Amino acid sequence: MSDAPKKLYIKTYGCQMNVYDSERMAEALGGQGYEQVDSPEGADMILLNTCHIREKAAEKVYSELGRYKGLKAANPDLKIGVAGCVAQAEGAEIMRRQPMVDLVVGPQSYHRLPEMEAKTQQGEKALDTDFPEELKFDHLPKGRKAKRGPTAFLTVQEGCDKFCAFCVVPYTRGAEVSRPVSRVLREAEGLVEQGVREITLLGQNVNAYHGQEGGEDWGLARLIRRLAEIDGLDRIRFTTSHPNDMEDDLIAAHGDCEKLMPYLHLPVQSGSDRILKRMNRGHTAEEYLRLIERIRAARPDILMSGDFIVGFPEETEEDFQATMDLVEAVNYGQCFSFKYSARPGTPAAERPLVDQAAADNRLQRLQALLTTQQRAAQDAMVGREVGVLFEKAGRLPGQMVGKSDHLHAVHVQCDVPVGTLARVRITESGPNSLGGTLLG
């Protein structure tokens, strides 16, 4: 039998948490002799790490699987797996519709991948969409490989107990679970030893983090302050948050923790109290606006980001105008906006859709306003000094590209190594990035 490493191709859909999960799945299969590659051609295993948030997510996965039929025909030993939230939602239906799929694993069970892969090598199908009592993090390889240069994601919390009417996360990721403090710190220290200078803490509802340490409950703010004590870790971010879990000490941390970057993604989804109630968001527009005021009082230069859904069932033009009014009041530096699409199994999926032409029109108007605000936020950076962590070479010779404190992409003509954190004066603002000159 050949000792050459087997080739693993992972295609990742969706959020940063799926990026993190894909890295850990690659590590879990590394013990089975797999080495990650960038192309499905010639792979011994193809793994789709799926997301169920976007419209027609399952159909897109089936379409992608269809593209691999030729590879499977050419290599019957090729193993094909589906992981993530679509796997959790669809389960055995995936194997029924696409018999060439060898394994299906949910997002809470991927620590069992080595055993599942061994089962497929015996010619059996492997399906695991349980919510196991043991935490997957306790069973994954302890060492991590830094695959993203000077920046890395670190999952600290999973699941959600909010049950927003439009969202499948509580059904695909389960209840809120926080990782123990010591294990988060150990993983962060390992990343820093491998050259990581910026860590983004991840969770479906990350500011609901309440990890245990020595019998004590640690909130996210206390965890951030402890992470800030790690030598070599220069930047800390976190995403995604819920307004109802933005506690006083976390707001204060934005003002007194130097390593916590001045960028906050805090979704609200709608500016209409009526729609917020129908969404089961648990807060009003006014409560959200007062929260933004408190955050900006703690950190005046913070850049706010958010999420919006337009065309939610029963949304009227008056409801939509309330959303536009909230956007005007907050003045976002960055935002994501979507037209509502039903997710089977969620409460909102049973409600009649609004007129789709009206929903399309509302989305266009909202995105035009958000684009104007985003461009204004970028233009306002011209002339300012910012920190930039350089992550890669740019498109032009001698150009480096990195992220500013406020998460803007910044390109600079300079000759510095990847991983350099430097002061930059912003000199220009483009449609999607800033340009600057190196200081010092």
At 77-104, the pLDDT tens digits run 999 999 988 888 888 889 999 999 999 9
pLDDT at 85: 82
pLDDT band at 128 (very low <50, low <70, confident <90, very high): confident
- The reply to whether 167 sits in an annotated binding site is yes
DSSP 3-state assignment of 346?
coil
- pLDDT (tens digit, 9 = 90+) per residue, 316-341? 999 999 999 999 999 999 999 999 99
Q: What is the 3-state secondary structure (H, E, C) of 322-337?
A: HHHHHHHHHCCCEEEE
Enclosing H/E stretch for 403 = strand 399-404
- The reply to whether 335 sits in an annotated binding site is no
- pTM tops 0.95: no
First to last CA, the chain: 57
CB-based burial, 226-241: b 16+ in 10 Å, e otherwise:
ebbebeebbbbbbbbb
Phi, psi of 118 (to 5 degrees): -60, -35
pLDDT band at 353 (very low <50, low <70, confident <90, very high): very high
Please count the other Cβ atoms lying within 10 Å of the Cβ belonging to residue 67: 10
Residue indicated by tokens 């679970």: 177
pLDDT at 52: 73
- The reply to whether 414 sits in an annotated binding site is no
Please count the other Cβ atoms lying within 10 Å of the Cβ belonging to residue 161: 13
pLDDT band at 173 (very low <50, low <70, confident <90, very high): confident
Q: Which residues contact 92 (CB under 8 A, 6 or more apart)?
A: 104, 127
Give the type of residue at 290.
R
pLDDT at 2: 53
Kindly state the percentage of the chain with pLDDT values over 90: 77
Domains with residue ranges and CATH for the chain: 6-128 (3.40.50.12160), 142-261 (3.30.750.210), 273-279+287-380 (3.30.750.200), 385-438 (2.40.50.140)
- pLDDT (tens digit, 9 = 90+) per residue, 227-272? 999 999 999 999 999 999 999 999 999 999 999 999 999 999 999 9
Q: Which residues contact 401 (CB under 8 A, 6 or more apart)?
A: 390, 391, 392, 393, 394, 409, 410, 411, 412, 433
- pLDDT (tens digit, 9 = 90+) per residue, 38-47? 999 999 999 9
Please count the other Cβ atoms lying within 10 Å of the Cβ belonging to residue 295: 19
CA 216 to the chain's CA centroid: 28
DSSP 3-state assignment of 21?
helix
Output the CA–CA distances (angstroms, integers) from residue 321 to 124, 292, 313, 359, in the order listed.
55, 20, 15, 13
Apex 289 CA angle, 287 and 291, nearest 5: 70
Please count the other Cβ atoms lying within 10 Å of the Cβ belonging to residue 339: 18
- The reply to whether 15 sits in an annotated binding site is yes
CA 281 to the chain's CA centroid: 20
Short-list 319, 304, 431, 407, CA closest to 366: 319
